[in-house]
Structures are given as structure tokens and as C-alpha cells.
Chains A and B, each alone.
Chain A
């Protein structure tokens, strides 16, 4: 939406009021037509793929952790830190995400166990983030409503660059958990966590704190950094892949629209990144049909790609494409990257964004 005013990203401010008033909040979103029978097949759950991937994941985590302990004090530790860091600090994000949706495994408790472990690795309150993610799906990149907008406008490029180091996220996540453990939820958090669930968020934060306190105690008792390098600190040194892939989900695209083809990006990625990211590179597809498990997203992509903007062929391509857009947003925050649709696609709907496209989109 073209706005003369600065965007207000708080969830209880002016943009929130406007989004509710104009009907942008909780709106009806565009979906590509997929026959019910086909969609039913795509939505089918099974434990097999996620059990296989989770076994590989756990073995790789434990193996690289063993390497860190074994080679502690030598340079041989570096590749193990690299692998462990990415598994702990980055791949946990996609596990958190998919299991939060309940789509990774068919069996519910398996989703829940991995969800809680991954939430801990990410320093995310599992209760708070379940609700914030529900809001992200209801109001994707609606300013004043979406609690998970990674890069706000005008973009803070230093902050975005620092995100790769994990420092800012760490500085935000840990104090947030401490505050919540003391029983305080912010106004923004209260705006999307229902009252009856708020005490659960406090209890979850306390559990996380207990584990961190125990880790620190063990580190002191052993007079060793190893426990902290294995628990907690990977959130710093292993976050870069999560940021590398995750930033591309929505950065530089439209906001305040109700069509995921305009505000979400699908990027083709290499198989290793796709394993770490659990196919979330098919992000338009995921937002349109969050019921489809990660392992069925490539199939869904093939089925509906005629109706979607062409995916970026690589992460490099996507970043190169978005960089000039970000630079321009520094001056004109209404500017965004317009995704062209193929001739086979249904056109964008008018009610919220026809005018925006012509007014603010790329020349």
C-alpha cells in the first residue's frame, strides 16, 4: 500500500488500527486453484521422511559435537564448529517451523518433541512463537499485524548484515526469555498470545532458563567453555545460514497486500541448503498451502508454478535482484520489487493492491 506516512511496525499502533479498519487484517488471501483430490494427496502426512531426516540430523549434531570435544584446543575443531553451528543455529529454524505447523510428522508427539528441542536451540519461546507464527500466516507482511517481519522499511542494512552474525538476535532473544521468565509479556506479545495461553509462555521461558543455568553451572564446575560452545553460543556462530535463506522469504517485496505471489519469494536452492532449510525455499507454495508437508512442496511447486512469478534460480540471483531495491527503499520506503506473473497466471486481485503496483513498483 502506498503510504505517505512512515510505517509503524508495532502491533498495537497506528498501522495496526489502519490494517483492521481497511480490512487488510485477517483478509481473504489469493489461492491458486488446485482440485480437492490433488490437494488431499499433497496434504497427506507420513512419519517416514521426517524420521529419516531427523535421524540424519541428530547423528550429524552428535557427531559434530563429538568432534568439537575431541579436537578442542586444536585447529581441527573448525570444520566441526562449522557443521555443528549450522545444524544448531540454522537448521533448527526449519525444524521449529515445520513441526510448529504439525506437518513434518504424522504423529503429533513427534512434531511436539522436535518443536520444543528446536525452539530451545533457537532461544525462542515455544508458546509465544507458535502464536506469532499463526499471526504471520494470517497477516503476512501486513504492517502493524505481522510479528515476524524480518526487514522493515526503510531497511536497516547494518542490522541486516549483523543478523548473519547472530549478535542482534542473541541480544534480543536471551533478554526476552529472561523477561518472560520473570512473568512479563510485552504489549506486542499480548496482542497475539491469547490470555489463556500467556501463563504457558512464562512457564516455557522458565524451563529454558533452567537449562541455561544448568549449562553455565556445568561450565563453571568443569572450568571449561565446551558446554557453552555446545549449548547457547551456536545461536551466534551458526545462525548465518538461517539468515541467508530466511531473509529471502519476503525481503524487498510488497507489503500490505493479500496475495502471497506479491510478498513472498520462491528460490531454487542447492540440496544441502534444502536439507538444512527443509524445502522452505518453496515459500510462496508454503504460504498459500501451509497444510502441505515440506517433502511434498517440490511436487506442489510443479503443479502451481504456472500461476506464480518465476522463482529465482539461486540465492545469489535473488540477492542481486533485491539489493538495488533495498538501496532505493532507503530513500523511498514505498518502493518494492514487483513480481511479474507469467501469462498463464491469474492476474493480481484489485481490491487492495492494484493502485500500489502502478504507483510504487519497479520501473
Chain B
């Protein structure tokens, strides 16, 4: 079942960047792509426990800060060692300047 929550304001995330969003004991990563679209994934890398929000966004890739593992943050696809398990993604919508994600 859908459960939309407000993650941040649109301006909280720079273009081609990512921020961390904590909610209900869970951690998410909110991305703003170079084309100015928003995306959301789990906040932790699937390899080890590292915050993806400390990583680097390049085009549609998020690179993990710990061992440089790369995911496509739009699809969650893990792009090879040391990340082998895909990242969970969440639906996102923007309403009245707010970024909402469906964590349901």
C-alpha cells in the first residue's frame, strides 16, 4: 500500500547530488538528476553499511563513498564489484515544492 512521506524541499538537493533522509528508523537517499528529476533509493549501500548520501552522483550513477561501488540510482541496478546486490528504489513525486517518496 502506498505511503507517501515528505522527504525534503526541492531546493534542499543540488542538481546532480544526493541527500540523506531518515524516517521511521529507516534511511533513504534522495537524488536530483542533471535533468532536474528526483529519485529515491535505500540510504545504505548493499555491499556494506555506508551512507550513499556521502557518495558522488555522476549522471545516473551514485558511487558509494566506501569502496566506490556504483549503482544506477534510477533503476537501483548494481553495476559490478564490489556491489553485487541491486538497490531498492522508491517512487517519487514533487508537489508544491516538496519531494515526496512512497515508502509503502
Contacts and interface: CB of A to CB of B under 8 A. Distances in A.
B82 A40 contact: no
B94 interface: no
Interface residues of A, number: 22
A91 B82 CA distance: 24
B81 interface: yes
Contacts, number: 45
A290 B17 CA distance: 18
B67 A134 contact: yes
B66 A130 contact: no
B84 to A, nearest CB: 6
Contacts of A44: 56
Q: Is the interface of A mostly helix, strand, loop or mixed?
A: helix
Contacts of A130: 81-82
B26 to A, nearest CB: 19
Interface in A160-195: 194
Q: Is the interface of B mostly helix, strand, loop or mixed?
A: loop
Interface residues of B, number: 17
Interface string B46-58: 0111000001101
Nearest to A290: B68
Interface stretch (A98-106, A141-149, A205-213, A301-309): A98-106
B67 A40 contact: no
B67 A138 contact: yes
Nearest to A138: B48
Interface string A279-307: 00000000001110000000000000000
B66 A137 contact: yes
B91 interface: no
B42 interface: no
Interface string A36-59: 000010011100000000000000
A127 interface: yes
A133 to B, nearest CB: 8
Interface in A114-171: 127, 130-131, 134, 137-138
A84 B17 CA distance: 43
A137 B84 contact: no
A102 B81 contact: no
Interface of A: 26, 40, 43-45, 101-103, 106, 108, 127, 130-131, 134, 137-138, 194, 196-197, 289-291
Interface of B: 17, 47-49, 55-56, 58, 63, 65-68, 70, 79, 81-82, 84
